[in-house]
Amino acid sequence: SSDEYEGDHLVPKLGMKQVLAFEKDNTWMKVLQVVNTRLCKLYNLSSTSAEQASRMVACAVADPLGSDCPLVFVSGEFENLTGYVRDWALGRNCRFLQPNERPINRLLNGEEVDRMRTFCQEPQPPGAEIVVCLVNESRMNFPFWNLLMMEHIEVEGRPYIFGVQTNLTAHLDKLCEIFGMEESGVRELKRLRQELQGVINMAYEGPGVYDVSQMCVSKFVQGIPEFLKPLELPAKEGKRQQALVSVLLHVGPDLQENLTKALLEGVRHFHIYLSASNLPAGNDSMVSLEGRLRAMQLGKVLLDLNKLGLNFFRDGIFFTLVTPPQLVSCFLEMAKAIRSAGYNLDCWILDVAKTPKAQVQKAWKIMLQAKTNQDIAKLGLWGSGKILK
């Protein structure tokens, strides 16, 4: 059935017998007694109880004796990080977290998946552990970086595999450029994994895995080749400017083609422009309808990026919305379309070219209210030569 597949991965719910036994015997509390010291040390939580620590990190338990090594426990942070709720995840093998398309998964995670499979399927003594860096995919079909530590443990004579996930969040706008799926990106991915080797041992020495992994990633991005970075403005006086090249895109029939082409060429910042040229003046109902229609069009285009694999660049993509005064009422619909598709919108610009001052002031008042309501972080003017904070 369709419920047994997540993308290309067959993940049937075969382990509910093991899940019920795990819950009935309150095994999770017994697991915590085994991993208490290491868990608190790993996350630098010396003054925190193991139970409290487990609620603060993404962790899971699998039963290697069950068919297909099913998950028998996931924490609340596991649900938050992955988007998969426990009722769906429990009883299944955790491979549903791997990228949905098998060729992409093999390219990005092949060697790491082989290492995990061997670790989980072959008998291991209690205390045996493995650390892998995976490109995982959330329920929303967006990638995230999973530094995963797994350990074989024993509870009352029964083996389990305890896993704890650390989400790499530093320099995501640079890390996502690895997903170009070319040989150079794959080489950089191997270099990142080499940089992260030993991170657990360093974390045990005091700083904690979050700080250590961030330091490792920061060191890694310094060596990323220029051709793998997003397009930036040309250097000036020997100094590199920290400003992305941006492209203006009109919401119209060519939006999909133009957005896709620009993304493939390395552009990551886009001004989404709404034109009011074809709208009758003073017709609020027509403006409202037009706003909804264009929001639907934009939302579909963004969702279609998933089919092309371009959603893997999400963390490096930024949108700015540009509207004339006549279309400021369309902002919420457009913002919802962008954010519901999982992308960033942090700036709203008012096109004031050839617009009477009174009309600009009225529209600006609406925009200021949106900023006060925290619907948008930044505001600006287009065609005035100024940017208003």
Residues 146, 136: Cα–Cα separation, whole Å: 6
- For 14-31, write each residue's pLDDT tens digit: 999 999 999 999 999 999
Task: State the average pLDDT for the chain.
Answer: 88
Show the tokens assigned to 82: 């992955």
CA–CA dist 357, 362 (Å, integer): 9
CA atoms within 13 Å, Cβ hemisphere of 252:
11
What is the pTM (predicted TM-score) of this model? Answer: 0.85
Give the whole-angstrom CA distance, residue 306 versus residue 143. 11
Mean pLDDT of 191-209: 87
Nearest-angstrom CA–CA distance, 136 and 46: 29
Average pLDDT for 5-14: 93
Q: What is the DSSP letter of 84?
A: -
Residues 6+ apart with CB under 8 A from 72: 15, 18, 19, 22, 23, 27, 61, 62, 63, 66, 90, 91, 160
Under 8 Å CB-to-CB from 368, ≥6 apart: which residues?
379
Per-residue pLDDT, averaged over 285-307, amounts to 88
- Give the separation between CA 333 and CA 162, rounded to whole angstroms: 43
Q: Which residue has the tokens 């995670």?
A: 109
pLDDT band at 388 (very low <50, low <70, confident <90, very high): very low
**Contact status, residue 380 vs residue 347, Cβ threshold 8 Å:** yes
What's the Cα-to-Cα distance from 369 to each of 334, 346, 358, rounded to whole Å? 17, 15, 17
Residue range 346-382, pLDDT digits in tens: 899 999 988 888 989 999 999 999 999 999 999 999 8
Residue 3, pLDDT score? 85
Per residue in 33-84, pLDDT (tens digit) is 999 888 888 888 766 666 777 788 999 999 999 999 999 999 999 999 999 9
Task: Name the more confident of 383 and 125.
Answer: 125
Please answer whether residues 58 and 112 qualify as being in contact, where contact means their C-beta atoms are separated by less than 8 angstroms.
no
